[in-house]
């Protein structure tokens, strides 16, 4: 039995070793920052936000990783298929960020400050479909807290 398990482990290792070059050759590995995503204008009261939109699982996984800088009014809106407890971390993320966990109608459920390059988990206080990441302190400097309502096309009833 032990010999049979060993053969299975070696077979799996061989398959993974054969597939790795294909994964990297097809562009699924992201080396640099993701800066070419579609954008959507959002507003937080009188403040305008230029949000890149991460829609796919791959786009959401990469997020703002490896990005050395970002304009102050820019952020990233993560859009999920269904409301769920969303949890974020900062692996390979160079900028300190604040995550706003946002309900379908644009109401901020909770905010979480996140330190760069950590694996600390930051989760929504209740199920949400949207998470907006901005520079850390952006919301606080503008007096925006949980309960504040963001506006923009993603939060309109017809957009769901």
What CATH number does the domain containing 124 carry?
A: 2.60.120.1140
Count of domains in the chain? Answer: 2
1 and 66 both lie in a single domain: no
Report pLDDT digits (tens) over 84-123.
999 999 999 999 999 999 999 999 999 999 999 999 999 9
pLDDT bucket at 148, cuts 50 / 70 / 90? very high
> What is the span of the domain harbouring residue 14?
1-30
Report pLDDT digits (tens) over 18-77.
333 333 333 344 567 898 999 999 999 999 999 999 999 999 999 999 999 999 999 999
pTM for the full predicted model: 0.80
20 and 46 both lie in a single domain: no
For residues 73 and 29, what is the distance between their CA atoms, to the nearest angstrom?
28
* Residues 6+ away with beta carbon under 8 Å from 3: none
């Amino acid at each position: 039995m032990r010999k049979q398990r060993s053969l299975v482990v070696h077979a799996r290792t061989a398959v993974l070793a054969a597939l790795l070059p294909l994964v990297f050759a097809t562009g699924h590995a992201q080396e640099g920052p993701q800066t070419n995503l579609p954008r959507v204008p959002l507003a937080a009261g009188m403040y305008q936000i230029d949000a890149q939109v991460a829609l796919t699982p791959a786009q959401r996984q990469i997020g703002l990783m490896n990005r050395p800088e970002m304009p102050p009014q820019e952020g990233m809106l993560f859009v999920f298929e269904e409301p769920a407890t969303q949890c974020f971390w900062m692996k390979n993320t160079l900028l300190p960020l604040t995550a706003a966990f946002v309900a379908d109608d644009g109401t901020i459920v909770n905010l979480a400050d996140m330190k760069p390059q950590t694996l600390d988990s930051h989760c929504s206080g209740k199920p949400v479909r949207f998470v907006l990441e901005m520079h850390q302190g952006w919301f606080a400097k503008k007096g925006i807290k949980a309960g504040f309502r963001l506006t923009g096309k993603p939060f309109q009833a017809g957009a769901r």
